[in-house]
């Protein structure tokens, strides 16, 4: 699948780069030459803002050489050369340099674009403990007496209260991009300047750093950067000095990180001596969407004393979006993380059910089991909860209700599963009662339409409800989040229950959870059974079997692959992306697996089904929220049942 040239601006992205260059201590011409080379390379790769480490023009570890006017003069000459270099480059350059003003020396970040220094940001917090003694040379921003500084013969904005902003607009999008700059220790302070910058509108923070390495510090630093991006609902680009800095007493390793809202997009390899460029596309649109939906963030916004500096940020056409593309966003990619996530999700489900059992003082449950994935997971939750509460497993009434399309295979799976888990098992056929119902309403059983299918689902629900009444029990729902999103249930049939333990679990995650149970919590015989169930095609088994007794009805042939619908669901509800962006991300995540027309077709179906079935969600039963995407009308998702889908569907149709 070929991807055409993409406009970063149209899709709400800004491409950033963090560069750890080769350098020589106090050799400004060499350092400037390497900065120029890396800047050009990053710009050629589409980077719109390129960040270098703290004091990168001179090197951080110059110590008392910072007092030398020769070094300071060379630094200004180097900045002038970088300004000239930037005249023909579309990227913004941020470098570190020692600069003096009014008898004081400052550790500064210099923001350069199109031949000009746009602003100079001095460091606020100067470490003067352990191996650090910056107060020996530098003054803090708090000591600053003027709002401008003379650099390279020009007066430019000066202060830690600078924000750099450009307003983008086009026919299809309007994205305001704003960034702030802080330096090393500023991040480690109890109240980081970047917090106020973010509350004043900065979506991205750039940090020029010179953080040395000691045991365990890299992990702490990684968490610090990642969590600051999460707290600020922003992106954080962190660039630290590399191994060419002095090793007289400490070692530097060139650790760079690009994080977005708690997620690491890119990270460099440490302890390298060659120049490294770390690059990623920051999703400014997603950050803005999260901010205006977060009432706590909105409540903290106030009129801060920041000076906004206009910056030119030209759009870029690129071939691909440079960030992780996960086809299954609900399922962690790594085995370790996936196992941890499954354990937590399963605990959430079981705790939710246990709370409901404790409140109702109920020791009996009724659940319909089909031999399919959803009912298998729900039954596993019931069994684990009963064991945890030391309740008799025979209080779980697992009922198989074969109908016109039930295959021998799934029928056997249901019985074997109940036997393996040692719960009460009953088989109650719905064939005769459904035929009697057809007779009562005058429906021809040879007409296999929606009446034929839904009558079976409603008959099963009636059986479950009545058996629950017989036993003083309540009915456990088995439907999952994907089915709820697509309306793939019969209203007042399998749509209804007394508690829905799977309502927060998308289909791709249901399969993962059952496999996790098989791998880590099942006997050999149960493990084999669970894995067999996971491998079977998904089917409601409502239409008659073929002459070989095999179900020919496939859910995914009817409504589309669940992996696509789960991808669309996550992109729409978690990030509120528009259809053209969802399609772009799907093209990249599923490259080589689905044609563009196929992705577009099922996205069209997704919107149609999602809008048409809100009435079912508005009357869905209680069930636990599990992840950041949930559809309960009492919690995360409120939508009128009669909302029009035209805007979304038209955009899908015109996206080519």
pLDDT digit string, tens, across residues 599-616: 999 999 999 999 999 999
Beta strands in 58-209 (DSSP E): 92-101, 104-113, 116-122, 148-151, 154-157, 162-167, 176-183, 204-209
pLDDT band at 640, cuts 50/70/90?
very high
**Average pLDDT over every residue of 35-44:** 97
pLDDT band at 2, cuts 50/70/90?
very low
What pLDDT score does 86 carry?
Answer: 96
Beta bridge partners of 13: 283
Looking up tokens 């354990």, which residue turns up? 343
What pLDDT score does 169 carry?
Answer: 45
Torsion of Cα atoms, 8 then 9 then 11 then 16, to 10°: 50
Poorest-confidence range of 159-173, 213-227, 573-587?
159-173
Active-site residue, 34 included: no
Joined together, the tokens standing for residue 555 give 């859910």
**Average pLDDT over every residue of 404-408:** 95
Q: Look up residue 154 and give its DSSP letter.
A: E
pLDDT higher than 70, residue 484:
yes
What pLDDT score does 297 carry?
Answer: 86
pLDDT higher than 70, residue 464:
yes
pLDDT higher than 90, residue 300:
no
Q: How far is CA 25 from CA 57, 210, 394, 405, 427, in A?
A: 9, 13, 76, 77, 80
Set 22, 54, 185, 285: catalytic member? 54
Indicate the average pLDDT of the chain. 94
What pLDDT score does 655 carry?
Answer: 81
Q: Is 29 helix (H, G, I), strand (E, B) or coil?
A: helix
Looking up tokens 């399919």, which residue turns up? 372
Q: Taking the mean position of all CA atoms in its chain, how far away is CA 418? A: 37
Alpha-carbon span 208 to 210, nearest angstrom: 7
Alpha-carbon span 606 to 588, nearest angstrom: 19
What pLDDT score does 375 carry?
Answer: 98
**Average pLDDT over every residue of 311-325:** 90
**Average pLDDT over every residue of 382-391:** 98
pLDDT band at 1, cuts 50/70/90?
very low
pLDDT higher than 70, residue 500:
yes
Alpha-carbon span 103 to 436, nearest angstrom: 97
DSSP state string for 499-546: EETTTT--HHHHHHHHHHHHHHS--HHHHHHHHHHHHSPP----SPP-
Active-site residue, 54 included: yes
Range with the largest mean pLDDT of 30-39, 169-178, 647-656: 30-39
pLDDT higher than 80, residue 168:
no
Joined together, the tokens standing for residue 603 give 């996205």
Set 62, 108, 184, 239: catalytic member? 184
Poorest-confidence range of 15-19, 110-114, 175-179, 249-253?
175-179
pLDDT band at 313, cuts 50/70/90?
confident
Torsion of Cα atoms, 511 then 507 then 415 then 551, to 10°: -110
Alpha-carbon span 381 to 505, nearest angstrom: 12
What pLDDT score does 656 carry?
Answer: 63
pLDDT band at 172, cuts 50/70/90?
very low
Let me know: does 101 contact 158? Beta carbons within 8 Å: yes
What pLDDT score does 34 carry?
Answer: 98
Alpha-carbon span 123 to 110, nearest angstrom: 11
**Average pLDDT over every residue of 429-456:** 97
Q: Is 473 helix (H, G, I), strand (E, B) or coil?
A: coil
pTM attached to this predicted model: 0.92
In terms of Cα–Cα distance, which of 484, 655, 571 is closest to 289? Answer: 571
In terms of Cα–Cα distance, which of 161, 209, 205, 160 is closest to 184? Answer: 209
Beta bridge partners of 50: 17, 93
Alpha-carbon span 618 to 608, nearest angstrom: 17
In terms of Cα–Cα distance, which of 586, 600, 611 is closest to 577? Answer: 586
Percent of the chain predicted with pLDDT > 70: 98
Q: Taking the mean position of all CA atoms in its chain, how far away is CA 395? A: 40
pLDDT higher than 80, residue 304:
no
What pLDDT score does 175 carry?
Answer: 63
**Average pLDDT over every residue of 628-655:** 94
Set 22, 85, 123, 134: catalytic member? 123
Question: How many alpha carbons lie under 13 Å from residue 500 in its C-beta half-sphere?
Answer: 25
Q: Taking the mean position of all CA atoms in its chain, how far away is CA 565? A: 16
């Amino acid at each position: 699948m070929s991807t055409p040239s993409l406009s970063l601006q149209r899709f709400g992205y800004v491409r950033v780069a963090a560069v750890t260059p080769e350098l020589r201590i106090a050799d400004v011409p060499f350092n400037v030459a390497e900065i120029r080379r890396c800047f050009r390379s990053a710009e050629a790769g589409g980077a719109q803002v390129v960040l270098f480490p703290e004091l990168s023009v001179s090197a951080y570890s110059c110590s008392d050489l910072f007092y030398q006017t020769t070094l300071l003069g060379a630094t200004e000459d180097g900045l002038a050369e970088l300004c000239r270099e930037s005249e023909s480059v579309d990227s913004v350059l941020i470098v570190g340099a020692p600069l003096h003003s009014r008898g004081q020396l400052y550790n500064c970040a210099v923001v350069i674009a199109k031949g000009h220094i746009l602003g100079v940001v001095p460091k606020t917090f100067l470490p003067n403990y352990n191996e650090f003694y910056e107060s020996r040379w530098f003054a803090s921003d708090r000591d600053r007496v003027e709002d401008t500084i003379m650099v390279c013969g020009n007066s430019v904005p000066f202060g830690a209260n600078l924000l750099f902003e450009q307003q983008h607009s086009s026919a299809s999008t309007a994205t305001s991009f704003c960034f702030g700059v802080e330096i090393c220790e500023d991040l480690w302070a109890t109240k980081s300047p970047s917090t106020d910058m973010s509350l004043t509108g900065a979506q991205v923070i750039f940090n020029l750093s010179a953080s040395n390495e000691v045991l365990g510090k890299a992990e702490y630093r990684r968490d610090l950067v990642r969590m600051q991006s999460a707290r600020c609902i922003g992106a954080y680009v962190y660039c630290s000095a590399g191994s060419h800095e002095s090793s007289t007493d400490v070692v530097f390793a060139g650790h760079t990180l690009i994080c977005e809202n708690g997620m690491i997009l890119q990270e460099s390899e440490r302890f390298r001596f060659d120049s490294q460029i770390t690059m990623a596309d920051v999703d400014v649109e997603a950050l803005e969407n999260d901010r205006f939906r977060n009432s706590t963030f909105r409540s903290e916004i106030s009129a801060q004393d920041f000076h906004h500096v206009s910056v030119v940020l030209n759009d870029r056409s690129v071939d691909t979006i440079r960030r992780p593309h996960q086809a299954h966003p609900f399922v962690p990619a790594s085995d370790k993380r996936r196992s941890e996530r499954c354990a937590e999700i399963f605990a959430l489900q079981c705790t939710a059910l246990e709370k409901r059992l404790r409140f109702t003082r109920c020791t009996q449950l009724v659940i319909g089991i089909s031999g399919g994935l959803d009912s298998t997971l729900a039954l596993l939750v019931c069994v684990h909860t009963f064991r945890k509460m030391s309740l008799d497993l025979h209080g779980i009434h697992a009922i198989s209700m074969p109908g016109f399309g039930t295959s021998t295979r799934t029928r056997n799976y249901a019985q074997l599963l109940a036997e393996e888990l040692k719960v009460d098992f009953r088989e109650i056929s719905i064939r005769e009662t459904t035929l009697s119902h057809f007779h009562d309403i005058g429906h021809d059983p040879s007409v296999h339409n929606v009446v034929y299918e839904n009558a079976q689902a409603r008959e099963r629900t009636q059986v479950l409800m009545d058996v629950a009444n017989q036993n003083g029990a309540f009915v456990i729902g088995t439907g999952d989040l994907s089915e709820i999103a697509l309306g793939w249930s019969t209203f007042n049939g399998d749509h209804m229950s007394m508690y829905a333990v799977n309502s927060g679990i998308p289909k791709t995650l249901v399969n993962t959870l059952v496999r996790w149970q098989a791998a880590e919590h099942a006997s050999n015989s149960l493990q084999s059974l669970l894995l067999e169930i996971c491998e079977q095609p998904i089917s409601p088994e409502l239409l008659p079997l073929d002459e070989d007794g095999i179900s020919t009805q496939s859910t995914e042939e009817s409504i589309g692959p669940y992996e696509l619908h789960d991808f669309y669901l996550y992109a729409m509800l978690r990030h509120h992306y528009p259809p053209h962006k969802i399609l772009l991300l799907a093209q990249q995540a599923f490259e080589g697996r689905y044609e563009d027309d196929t992705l577009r077709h099922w996205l069209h179906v997704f919107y149609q089904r999602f809008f048409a079935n809100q009435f079912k969600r508005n009357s869905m039963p209680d069930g636990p929220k599990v992840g950041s995407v949930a559809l309960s009308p009492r919690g995360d998702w409120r939508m009128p049942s009669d909302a029009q889908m035209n805007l979304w569907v038209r955009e899908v149709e015109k996206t080519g």
